[in-house]
Structure 1
Amino acid sequence: MKARVTVMLKNGVLDPQGEAIRHALGTLGFSGVDGVRQGKVIELDLAGTDKAAAEAEVASMCEKLLANTVIESYRVEIL
């Protein structure tokens, strides 16, 4: 079983990497981009077969290591 975790900065938290990407896109001629939020995707290969247990375990991983929950939010998908 696979899990995909998407981690993004929370709304209201400054995103300097996103702003750098937005600026670079403008420099390359892509003028219609008003904002960019940059995040990360983490894919996990899990040994278990219980979807609910896997989702709970991955959420625990996010709370403890994969996301800084003070400034980041996360979304877990079991694939």
Structure 2
Amino acid sequence: MTFSVQVKVMPLKELLDPQGKAVMGGLQNLGIRSVSDVRIGKSISLQIEAATAEEAKSIAEEAGRKLLANPVMEYFEIAVN
């Protein structure tokens, strides 16, 4: 069975996000002042062949740990559809 899996990779909350700060400054320059914080991350879509949704999630978690996210600077979340 093929599962569609979304992996969201974001910078750790404790770390400065330079891209987010740059976008925040741009929004302020455009007069959009109601935004209080911006964090920039990655959204990765995987099509995984697996017997169960749990197995697909396990495969995605392994990919996240080994390749998709840098654990020193990022965390990741997985959603199986």
Instruction: Flag whether TM exceeds 0.5 (same fold).
Output: yes
CA distance in 1, matches of 2:51, 2:10: 27
**Across the two proteins, how many residue pairs are aligned to each other?**
79
Residue among 72, 75, 78 paired with 1:76:
78
Q: Does 1:24 align with 2:9?
A: no
CA distance in 2, matches of 1:78, 1:61: 14
CA distance in 1, matches of 2:31, 2:51: 47
- Scaled by the length of structure 2, the TM-score of the pair is 0.92
Identity of aligned residues (%): 34
Unpaired runs of at least 5, structure 1: none
SS of match in other structure, 1:23: helix
**Residues 11-55 of structure 1: CA deviation (Å, up to 9, x unaligned):** 111100000000001111101122111111000011224101110
Which letter maps to 1:69? P
Paired position in structure 2 for 1:62: 64
Structure 1 segments (4+ residues) deviating >3 Å: none
* RMSD value, Cα: 0.9
